Structure 1
Amino acid sequence: MVRPPKKVHSIYTALREEIVGGTWKTGAKLPNESELAQRFDCSLGTVSKALALLVHEGFVERRARAGTTVIYGSPDSVASQLDAYAFIYPSEQHEGIWRAVRGFQDAARDAGRRVVMLTTGVDYQKETEFVSRLSEFDVRGAVIYPVIPTPQDQVHFSQLLVESRFPVVLAEISLPGLGCSTVVIDGFHAGYTMARHMIQRGARKIGFFSNFAWAPFMRDRYQGYRWALEEAGIGEPAGGVYLDPAMHPDFQDPLAEPTAMAKAFLDRAGKIDAVVCAGDFLAMGCIAAAQQRGWRVPDDLLVSGVDDYSVLAASHGVPLTTYRIPYEDMGCKSFDLLDRVIRGQIVAPEERQLRGEIVIRQSA
């Protein structure tokens, strides 16, 4: 499947969300291509491709000398809207989410299904609003890749899912007992794999560094780390486990908080041989903090992550050893589960666990 270029997709996403959100109502004319090219700082050809996607998905129609007209919500588009599947997700600035979105869209195109993509950013209230208003978007069900900042928010989010009359599939997080099928990463395997690698490299004082530690999928990574250490007859180093329950995602400066946290962690942990980080941003923050202390990575400290984000692969001059999460497969499998739920092919909720693999680079 050929994927649209990133700029085309970003224009398509922005216009689609404005249409769905009511900025451009049924029958309204979109600005002409020259005006859109100026707004999005791109070529006319790029705008044309984005508009072609909107036509394909049933949001607009284009006619010579008549311009581009919104048809979303019109009687002519009702049939296609009733077949749409929604994907609610935080932000495409997050590479893992961007890859999951691609997987979902590719699977939808292969199945000939229309989709409605709803972006929430890091606004939990916007996320809950989308869930409660699914009926207004004329969709048959939704995959949700949620941002749940606190345990209290999880209780509220769970109640929304219980009350929703729409089929929902969760990506990345599992909430047992709510009747939702889920696609998750085998976090235990990720933590175990990375800790075993550190042990094989000869490390004995191996720390673990995590934020968002109350979340089950992060907790699983810690449990995998512990199992690997116990299996090797190694104890956790004193002060070497950092489990911060907070998470404050910042897509504009994603390394600021991890670096500040890593400074505090290394101050407390003292001299350790290696650190298994629960995510790539945490790992790069740890490398930055170690370098500020005058430590060399990997000579003085081995560091590993989980995710395998391409933008971080060689950050701070040290290619990162990490656990590659198959985000594209997560998006694809999420679509497949939602499709099967809507077709009545799944009676009891299913959980699909995906495993990744270690990618060995210079940092460990």
Structure 2
Amino acid sequence: MRKRIFLFFLLAGLFICFNSVYAQTVFWEETFDTNPGTWTLDQNWSIQNGMLQLYWSPSITNYDLSAISPVITLPENVGDLTVDHHINVYSPVNEVMEISIISGEENYVLWSYEITNGNWGAETGSDLNLPLVDYAGQDIQIKLRSYGASTFNFNWWYIFDVSVNALFDNDMTAMNVAGPTFIENNQPGNWSVTVKNSGLLPQDNYTVKLFKHGGLEIGSVHSTTLLETYETVSFDFDWTPTDIENTGLFGLVILDGDEFEDNNESRYNYLRVHSGVPINALVFDTDNNSHYTHPDTGAILGCEEGIKEALDLNGIPYDYVTNLPDDLSAYDIIFVELGLYCVG
């Protein structure tokens, strides 16, 4: 029998549409990074490992299983529903996966897929865009449903992200902060903030700022650079840190009359400010060539790569070995990587 259930144990890990006619802005989004506790889940549905998932086990015959979102109030200028997902099939008979909208007492099917057609989407997810204009201004719920002869006939349905988009005339987005992730204390550095015109109208009068976690303003630029719809521009900021710490930097864009301010602040760019005292690290890889799927890129990597990536991000030098040295006195910290172990 080809079905196997695996338990995975990781000892050590360290991780610190565009349309030519209009632009869309993410109005509501569920990334499933954590379980928000707001979705109604039938049997075999769960939120774990950064995704909403329907799994074949326990096997259920003549099944009808759904996952339903919390209530979402759609704006009048709503655009598309975007579902980033993947369906993996085993031995289909008549099973169906569908996405629908609940409005009032009615259920409206937006997309239906018979899994006899095979797998759907890339293993790391593919976007499916479904128009919501017919439901503008309504209170709706998103329903993901599967039904058919047996759950044994598919492997899983992974939903990585669900978002609702909207259209705005005036909307600026702070995209990201780029720059070093580690620096010595009292050493000058340079970071850039990228902003985007996510609205329908051109913009040439806005302010871009760089902040440190906690609200310290590092710099501010008022710009008259013309940005057409979906164009981006970056602004440089120089800063010299004076505190030894692990922190983060984020960008902010300010536009008078911005119709959607939830995207005005960027995600944090991690920053470690070193004390000047060197740290010598050792990564001991004894995992028997175990691998994992990188959550951001989908790449298949050796389990030790997660630790090495985090050390590189923090600017901590290290030695990598597969045989433990007899003398460990030169090291301040040792990471022992045992990898993934399976019980079946």
Indicate the TM-score class for this superposition, using the shorter chain for normalisation.
under 0.3
Instruction: State the TM-score, normalized to the length of structure 1.
Output: 0.22
Higher relative contact order (CA 8 A, sep 6+): 2
**Whose strand proportion is higher, 1 or 2?**
2
Whichever of the two has the greater Rg, that structure is 2
